[in-house]
Amino acid sequence: MTSTATTVPHILLVNPWIHDFAAYDFWAAPLGLLTLGGILRDHGARISFVDCLDRFHPLQAALPLVDKRCGRGPYMKTTIPKPPGLADIPRNYCRYGVPPEWLRHDLAVLPPPDLVLVTSLMTYWYPGVRETIAVIKSVFPDVPVVLGGIYATLCAEHAERHCGADHVISGPGEAAILPLVARLTGWRPTPRHDPTDLDTLPLPALDLTRRLVHVPLLTSRGCPFQCAYCASHRLQPRMMRRSPTSVVAEIVHWHRDHGVKDFAFYDDALLVDAERHIVPLLEGVIEAGITVRFHTPNALHIRNITRPLAILMRRAGFHTIRLGLETTAFERRQSMDRKVTEEEFLRALNHLKAAGFAADQVGAYLLAGLPGQDVAAVESSIAVVKAAGITPVIAHYTPIPHTPMWEAAVEASRYDLAADPIYTNNAIFPCRSETFSWEVLTRLKTLARA
């Protein structure tokens, strides 16, 4: 590596708190932030990582809870006041993650950084981002703080006005990170990677986490579909893929060198063009002779599941399968997406069952709280999924700016969605009709679990 700066910077990565009515570690990790950390470290920068959501912080009096089957578990939480406008929500609002004094301690024992990078995820989690940045600035008042991530991309103007960061960066960060660091620190290493070729990027700096119980895998970026409720095209305009060989090498690395058994695919379109992507990838995992568990929290495209692929998925170690069904009102779904027909749904389920997957391993996401949706539609979808012999998983609809469904959501909501992202929180069902009372929502969840 060559550089025009004599001082190599110390760059701090921070995963912020979550402020919400509910949060749980379903294989969550700040993959984008740690990918940038991997790039910076590979160029020679000194990297530190502080995780406000750290489930394994050493200051805990008791051992944290861990689902030994798959590495999931609850975050620490503290009840805090509800945001303005949400006082009527009959649930506790919490800060999820470590107490503020623990964060201040973790920051204070670090060598002072030259730059702090903070990530963001859900748009309505920005209060946790804002509080995190305020604590960082109280400890390092003269260090520039840069905010990136999903919220910073979808709500850039709001982030600039409300979150306290010195700089807000929108969009994918792999191409922007080195010029950004050069501008803010003067350090200019010679680029070693091509951001348009995912195989040239180093592994994310997941080894900086305190305890690595699960690993996120992103084998591709972008999605060929344009569903009305999804912002994938806004977040990643180009469809790019890693080679199956590079993904297998990463899985083997985390398993053999770090003892990781659980891997969660973060792809939006994992099974698309299966013969050239997921099939050789899973064949490579089998050939490596490792025993791991794969999980798909982001949902799989149903029509791509064939009998041979289902068998291969089972052999390679798929453990938790989530299907992107969204609704069983197949005849009316054209305005929402074109991902599946009823025949394709039932055929895919037959393939998965024939491959040996149990009913509790396969779930179908069903959207609830869509603009104009009635209770009967959700009840019918739950019944259809249960009759098919798998688990219905209620997914609360989140209105997302820049999606085709956004305007309908704004019109249908009892909140001013455009004024404040806090009102897009799916836990409050911002677009529910009068028939969607809290009692009805509780009944739907009970019906899905029964």
Task: Give the 3-state secondary structure of residue 20.
Answer: strand
Tokens, residue 318: 């798929």
Name residue 167's amino acid: H
Q: Are 10-185 and 212-449 the same fold in CATH?
A: no
For 332-384, what is each residue's pLDDT tens digit? 545 555 567 888 999 999 999 999 999 999 999 999 888 988 888 888 889 98
CB 35 within 8 A of CB 204: yes
Answer with the residue of higher pLDDT: 440 or 384: 384
**CA gap 59, 356 in Å, rounded:** 43
For 134-170, what is each residue's pLDDT tens digit? 999 999 999 999 999 999 999 999 999 999 999 999 9
- Where do the H-state alpha helices sit in 356-432? 375-387, 406-412
Which CATH number applies to 10-185?
3.40.50.280
Question: Beta strands 167-168 and 145-147: pairing type?
Answer: parallel
**CA gap 191, 392 in Å, rounded:** 47
Please state the domain extents for the chain. Answer: 10-185, 212-449
For 48-86, what is each residue's pLDDT tens digit? 999 999 999 999 877 666 666 688 999 999 999 999 999
**CA gap 125, 66 in Å, rounded:** 24
Provide Rg for the chain, Cα atoms: 22
Residue 181's φ and ψ, nearest 5 degrees, are -65, -40
**What is the pTM assigned to this prediction?**
0.93
212-449, superfamily in CATH? Aldolase class I (3.20.20.70)
Please state the length of the chain: 450
Question: Closest Cα partner for 432 from 382, 440, 227?
Answer: 440
Mean pLDDT of 102-128: 97
